Amino acid sequence: MIDIRYTQHDNHITSLEISGHAGFAESGKDLICAAVSGITFGLLNALDELTDVNNMTVGDNLIQVKVDNPTAESDLLLSAGIIQLKTVQQQNQRFIKIKKMEV
């Protein structure tokens, strides 16, 4: 299962963590993982190019983003990415879990 958690504080998204594997198909053929990866790497590239967010970690089955100084731009990009991930989750609820954490 892909586990997606994001933190919201004072109406700002301050962190995003994506971990796991959907398990829908074998590695390299899993369309759910491909969809989540495409959305996530597009989001990371946009954050890198368009904001000052620079605390991003990519590892094996783990992606972490921490936003120390949220801005309207980082909030917009992260919100758009989360909406896209929720869209994939709606049709694949057995394989993706999304949890919002409020601080």
Which of 21, 37, 66, 80 is catalytic? The answer is 21
**58 assigned to active site:** no
DSSP code per residue over 9-39:
ETTEEEEEEEEE---SSSTT--HHHHHHHHH
**21 assigned to active site:** yes
Residues 100 and 4: beta-carbon distance below 8 Å: no
Which of 33, 46, 67, 78 is catalytic? The answer is 33
In the DSSP assignment, the letter for residue 52 is: S
Give catalytic residue positions. Answer: 21, 33
